[in-house]
């Protein structure tokens, strides 16, 4: 190698190292994440995605769990700010309770990224398009059911959050594009957890079991509804169960073992967590970000989940190339603002 080429390569190496150093200097040192319910599979995998990305970037990530308690969420966020974290990421327990917290963070010059649900006064949120996710699942359900079922739906919903209300609305609207006479027989508040979903679904089926589609706004809801159906001694022949989330192992086991559980609106929590860290870095550097950073989703039919996950019977591993290839919509069909019109 001649001298000029050596100098060229050396100069390139120095520039690369300088760029890397400059990049490192612009990284937040510490990010605090307050999750609303850390025992839930969805949030466990959101955290895994955050940890993976934070480790890549050399960022210290600390997680605190609000355990569905707004007061605990506020306290945890205040604790993070007192410790001097560079950026906060928050999954709201409920939307109203976080509003004062956003004002407090702004006064302390701490950027905040929201995960999952919008809050008045937010800078940015990383979330799926909830209505679109429900809508595409409804379309897939219609395609599956149109020759076999009448489209009588038990919606195991969650009216507390605008995101989950949008999923239920989207599902019915999508279903009706294929089965125009589809009706919602039961519109339930399953609380987003399996015990509550089982309880309200059992009570509803005891009054009127003339349904043939169970839709759940998350996997706990759909599985709770299905468990109620089975507990009532009913056959899964002539039943379609549709889940939302792809939160952990539960939906994979259901799609492998439950005859009626054929469709899953997958939301890829690992990807959402990964993207939230990237959003935090952008805010730390004062970059402009959209109010809603859309995380991708995809309807899964049957064994489609194998395109996106490896599963050895005890753990699952995301196939990043397949998930990163998904293109989220540039704009959601409907948002929480549409619910207020």
Per-residue pLDDT of the chain (341 residues; tens, 9 = 90+): 443 333 333 334 333 333 333 444 589 999 999 999 898 888 999 999 999 999 999 999 999 999 989 999 999 999 999 999 999 999 999 888 899 999 999 999 999 999 988 899 999 999 999 999 999 999 999 999 998 898 999 999 999 888 899 999 999 999 999 999 999 999 999 999 899 999 999 999 999 999 999 999 999 999 999 999 999 999 999 999 999 999 999 999 999 999 999 999 999 999 999 999 999 999 999 999 999 999 999 999 999 999 999 999 899 999 999 999 999 988 999 998 898 87
Residues 6 or more apart in contact with residue 300 via CB below 8 angstroms: 246, 255, 263, 264, 265, 266, 308
Please report the pLDDT score of residue 235 as a whole number.
96
Q: What stretches of 212-274 adopt beta strand conformation (E)?
A: 213-216, 240-245, 261-266
Please report the pLDDT score of residue 323 as a whole number.
94
**Phi and psi at residue 14, in whole multiples of 5°?**
-65, -45
Provide the token pair at 252: 């994979």
Alpha carbons 267 and 309: distance in angstroms, whole number: 12
- Are residues 29 and 57 in contact, defined by beta-carbon separation less than 8 angstroms? no
Find tokens 């009570």 and name the residue.
Answer: 203
Alpha carbons 33 and 71: distance in angstroms, whole number: 15
Please report the pLDDT score of residue 95 as a whole number.
81
Residues 133-185 have pLDDT tens digits of: 999 999 999 999 998 898 999 999 999 888 899 999 999 999 999 999 999 99
| Cα atoms found within 13 Å of the Cα of residue 248, Cβ hemisphere only | 16
Please report the pLDDT score of residue 213 as a whole number.
98
Closest to 158 measured CA to CA, from 183, 184, 193, 133: 193
Number of residues written out for the chain = 341
Kindly report the pTM of this predicted structure.
Answer: 0.83
Please report the pLDDT score of residue 10 as a whole number.
35
Please report the pLDDT score of residue 134 as a whole number.
98
Please report the pLDDT score of residue 155 as a whole number.
98
Residues 66-88 have pLDDT tens digits of: 998 999 999 999 999 999 999 99
Alpha carbons 124 and 111: distance in angstroms, whole number: 10
């Amino acid at each position: 190698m001649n001298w000029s080429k050596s100098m060229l390569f050396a100069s390139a190496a120095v520039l690369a190292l300088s760029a890397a150093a400059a990049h490192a200097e612009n990284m937040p040192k510490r990010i605090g994440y307050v999750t609303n319910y850390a025992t839930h599979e969805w949030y466990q995998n959101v955290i895994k995605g955050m940890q993976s990305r934070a480790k890549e970037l050399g960022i210290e990530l600390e997680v605190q769990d609000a355990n569905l308690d707004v007061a605990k969420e506020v306290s945890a966020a205040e604790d993070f700010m007192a410790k001097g974290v560079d950026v906060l990421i928050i999954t709201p327990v409920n939307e109203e309770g976080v509003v004062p917290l956003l004002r407090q963070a702004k006064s302390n010059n701490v950027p905040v990224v929201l995960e999952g649900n919008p809050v008045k006064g937010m800078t940015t949120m990383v979330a799926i398009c909830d209505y679109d996710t429900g809508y595409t699942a409804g379309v897939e359900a219609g395609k599956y059911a149109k020759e076999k079922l009448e489209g009588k739906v038990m919606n195991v919903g969650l009216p507390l959050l605008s995101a989950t209300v949008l999923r239920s609305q989207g599902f019915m609207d999508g279903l009706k594009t294929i089965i125009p006479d589809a009706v919602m027989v039961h519109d339930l508040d399953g609380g987003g957890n399996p015990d509550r979903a089982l309880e309200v679904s059992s009570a509803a089926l005891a009054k009127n079991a003339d349904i043939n589609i169970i839709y759940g706004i998350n996997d706990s809801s759909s599985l709770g509804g299905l468990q109620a159906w089975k507990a009532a001694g009913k056959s899964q022949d002539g039943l379609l169960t549709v889940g939302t989330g792809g939160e952990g192992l539960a939906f994979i086991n259901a799609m492998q073992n439950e005859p009626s559980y054929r469709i899953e609106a997958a939301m890829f929590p690992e990807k959402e967590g990964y993207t939230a860290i990237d959003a935090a870095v952008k805010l730390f550097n004062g970059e402009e970000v959209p109010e809603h950073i859309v995380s991708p989703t995809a309807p899964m039919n049957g064994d489609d989940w194998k395109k996106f996950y490896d599963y050895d019977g005890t753990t699952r591993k995301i196939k990043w190339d397949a998930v990163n290839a998904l293109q989220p919509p540039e704009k959601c069909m409907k948002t929480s603002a549409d619910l207020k019109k």
